[in-house]
Structure 1
């Protein structure tokens, strides 16, 4: 027999789970939030020491609480982000249970709802929300065999330069994590190679406004699907050292050698694709397009924002781009460490539901899965471009809570006594 029953089990107490709890609580929906570690654990222990949020404090937060003791335009250190979500959970009275791992979720036989098995017993729930987010299983491509260099680790396992043995470092991946780690290593005196793939490279600030502001006023946070072919393109932007635009030319001028996408390995030699110049050019094109859109918006609306013509000047490509290295003998180059900033894969092995494609990816519409009663929150592009950001997760969770409340109304209907009301799901 189950130890208890509830309406909704939310799995995960990161930003998605806390947001979900706020909206369920506001609508009076009984629920529990199960977290196998601590609230916002990934911010605490699965990121490098110097990480800060990639959006400014005024933007990357929930509506109900500001970051204390910080300027609105500051970029919040990771520990303070974790403390923020802990404080938020306390503020809303979220029923979070830490140290409880969900081992399986199965559809009940011949009755509504699900059996949730946990490390502390079982729970019967009418609805289940997977709020474990996108950063579940670190991905290291099977390119370089174990032992080829002394250390290989994923960016989620990197903490600081002192963690790595003396020698040069290859960083694979040119999203926010890869460029920030490469920059930190170079500033610590390391020789660094940075493998650059396709990326989006927005300006950190333009005409005295952060890029988050520009995407807001230009309506781009509301894009519901990524551009064709850009579903998995990384965004290179940084809040480090007060925030700055990622400039690959500047990284090269500081001594980082840029190479193309990492391709294959054979007998101590790593080979790179001849795509570096093209990847840099595509990132530049996206950067310049946003500047042009911002300029047009300023002129159309008569805003008094200072012009910034120098931001449009990119400068010549460095030699490592015009004459790129296609092979790297790791031993000869003194490479002792490889940091793979190559993203994450979903891991829903605990969720036995008919809502995954052949690659294990959730099938859903705005977080409402193909399996009735199962929901997802916290995934990139869940409903729009802004879904990856803290504030976007909050709005996605509100939509899902509305959907659950509406469905509860239908399920509660009894023709004999007229109990039960249906609500219209609210958009956001």
Structure 2
């Protein structure tokens, strides 16, 4: 490409969210390009462990103008299968993707209207920019671990399989989706595993014979919007669900702290600090497991009420309640050398990184401040943030709703359907 090119819209990111926006822009006849530092679905190619499958069933990979087929809509796609799926989606409308293009900076255009998108291959002048890089940035580190010498630090984005890790025990930090799945895989491989547990959300894989996401969609929970919650900031920082997708339907069982304990995983509190070779832990393990169990029971009770109200109860399995998690007393310190822990896997989430946006659109936590994808900077949009507008915004299936909002506003200057809020919620 030449030093400068002009285009109506630049979409940054060729994952599912960026492709959803691209499809809708194509349908609207808008000139645009999709820039990505790597290939389509690059994170799914290079930042996922080998055995990972989607947490959501295949029927929940709907994108604009593209609905999942296949013989097993209740199954769970592997990372490789999802990559192929998104490649086919992009090819179906000839998405204008510029792979291997790293966006360095987005800033107001010099001496003109719009923005300059500077990349390592040149600069694009554009009226609109849609940020579709997702909520993921560097791994979140709960405490300063730069001086750690007794164990190797492995971010979850670099974890691939148990054989990759150094000999000895493993401390997994974080008990949401990634943490419990990695701890489970390591325990199944015969490794000694300790899991540092922070705030978490316990849910069943299936309830009364139906997948959890059938319940969440049918009861309207996935469509709940940020306008409906009293604490938007807390909602946007909810832990991911303790779930796993399995290749075999019969193995689609619950994965929570109770099942991990039965496999020999030791549960301890959240990381608090580092003193030489010793890691300090808090004493909140039991309180957090009690809180998660109570929230689970409230959820299941509401699902039972829905089944009774709609007449489904007669067709479903009988209600059940899982056994509460009952962790053993946890230590206040872990001596990594004495316990022969050779690896710490960081799975405590990610912190947003939008340092390349030279625009006043990010909040103190690094997330982009927006309402239904529209920011305070004219022509700057975002798709794919956690609970961007709907609770399902962080799932592949939810991108179609956020993409519709963004493209509708980009084309018409107004948001679709629901009334526009008079004030942007705090993010």
TM over 0.5: yes
Q: Give the structure 2 partner of residue 4 of structure 1.
A: 5
Q: Give the structure 2 partner of residue 416 of structure 1.
A: none
| Structure 1 residue 352 corresponds to structure 2 residue 358 | yes
Distance 2:304 2:190 in 1: 39
Verify the 8 A CA contact 2:151 2:343 in the aligned structure 1.
yes
| Structure 1 residue 113 corresponds to structure 2 residue 114 | yes
Q: Give the structure 2 partner of residue 306 of structure 1.
A: 316
Distance 1:313 1:204, change over 3 A: closer
Listed as ranges, the matches of 1:196-275 within 5 Å are 196-225=197-226, 228=231, 229-234=234-239, 235-240=241-246, 242=248, 243-275=252-284
User: Displacement, 1:227?
Assistant: 6.2
Q: Helix, strand or coil: the match of 2:154?
A: strand
Aligned length: 408
| Structure 1 residue 361 corresponds to structure 2 residue 367 | yes
User: Displacement, 1:147?
Assistant: 4.5
User: Displacement, 1:275?
Assistant: 0.7
User: Displacement, 1:361?
Assistant: 2.5
Listed as ranges, the matches of 1:105-144 within 5 Å are 105-144=106-145
Within the candidate set 390, 397, 404, 1:391 is matched to 397
Verify the 8 A CA contact 2:143 2:271 in the aligned structure 1.
no
Distance 2:48 2:230 in 1: 29
Distance 1:375 1:227, change over 3 A: same
Moved more, 380-389 or 210-219: 210-219
Q: Helix, strand or coil: the match of 1:137?
A: coil
Q: Give the structure 2 partner of residue 427 of structure 1.
A: 417
Distance 2:270 2:343 in 1: 17
Distance 2:411 2:236 in 1: 31
Listed as ranges, the matches of 1:10-409 within 5 Å are 10-62=11-63, 64-67=65-68, 69-225=70-226, 228=231, 229-234=234-239, 235-240=241-246, 242=248, 243-303=252-312, 304-309=314-319, 311-314=320-323, 317-318=325-326, 321-407=327-413
Distance 1:70 1:45, change over 3 A: farther
Q: Give the structure 2 partner of residue 418 of structure 1.
A: none
Moved more, 322-331 or 256-265: 322-331
TM-score (norm 2): 0.91
Distance 1:114 1:313, change over 3 A: closer
CA deviations 1:377-424 (Å, max 9, x no partner) are 1111111111011110121011100000013xxxxxxxxxxxxxxxx5
Verify the 8 A CA contact 2:143 2:272 in the aligned structure 1.
no
Distance 1:262 1:150 in 2: 15
CA deviations 1:242-270 (Å, max 9, x no partner) are 43322311211110001111111213221
Verify the 8 A CA contact 2:143 2:273 in the aligned structure 1.
no
User: Displacement, 1:165?
Assistant: 1.2
Distance 2:114 2:316 in 1: 57
Verify the 8 A CA contact 1:298 1:305 in the aligned structure 2.
no
Q: Which runs of 5+ in 1 are unaligned?
A: 408-423
Runs of 4+ in 1 over 6 A off after TM superposition: none
- Greater C-alpha radius of gyration: 1
Distance 1:74 1:249, change over 3 A: same
TM-score (norm 1): 0.91
Distance 1:230 1:7, change over 3 A: closer
Distance 1:340 1:287, change over 3 A: same
